[in-house]
Structures are given as structure tokens and as C-alpha cells.
Amino acid sequence: MNMTEPAAGAEKAPPPGETQFRDILEQAPIGMALLSLDGRFTRVNRAFCEILGYEPEELLKLTFTAITHPDDIQKDQDFVLRRSEE
């Protein structure tokens, strides 16, 4: 048995800083969200949900364009594209 690998079924420890990042995200008094490269929400905090009036599970099924005013969608998509190229 290789002692450096977790046993089958054992939970992996979160990467360094992950727990701290998760705590900061959840405790932030401002709305915060993380997006995937295709614009889907991957994480949202409680403040973000309260601002928008959604439950976290609802937002995690949406893309940011679903909650963006139509006049702002192109500008926001351009921003996401630029960020993904960095």
C-alpha cells in the first residue's frame, strides 16, 4: 500500500488556502460570485443571493447573462472574454 496516497473513499484535504478563501467568500458583506469560462456561476455568496433575490442553487444553474440587463450583456461578455485571455 502506498502511504502517500489517500485510502479509497477517503476525502481529499482541500488545497492550501481553499478553506480560508471559502470563509472569506461566505463572510463578505458584499455580493461575490465566481464564474466558469462559459459564464456559469460556480460559487456565489449569501450577500450576492440576497441582492438578487435568488437561492444559491438557482444561481448555480444560470449564466451571468440570465441576470444581466440586455443593454449590458455585450459589454460584460467582452469583459469575460478579455479576462479569459489573460
As a whole number, mean pLDDT of residues 67-73 equals 95
Q: Residue 11 pLDDT more than 80?
A: no
Q: Residue 40 pLDDT more than 90?
A: yes
Question: Which amino acid, 71?
Answer: D
Element of type H or E holding 84:
helix 73-85
DSSP 71: G
Greater confidence (2 vs 42) lies with: 42
Q: Are 43 and 33 in contact (CB under 8 A)?
A: yes
DSSP 40: B
Which pLDDT value is given to residue 41? Answer: 96
Question: Which amino acid, 19?
Answer: T
What are the chain's domains? 19-85 (3.30.450.20)
pLDDT confidence bin for 12, thresholds 50/70/90: confident
Q: Nearest 5°: CA angle at 68, between 71 and 84?
A: 100
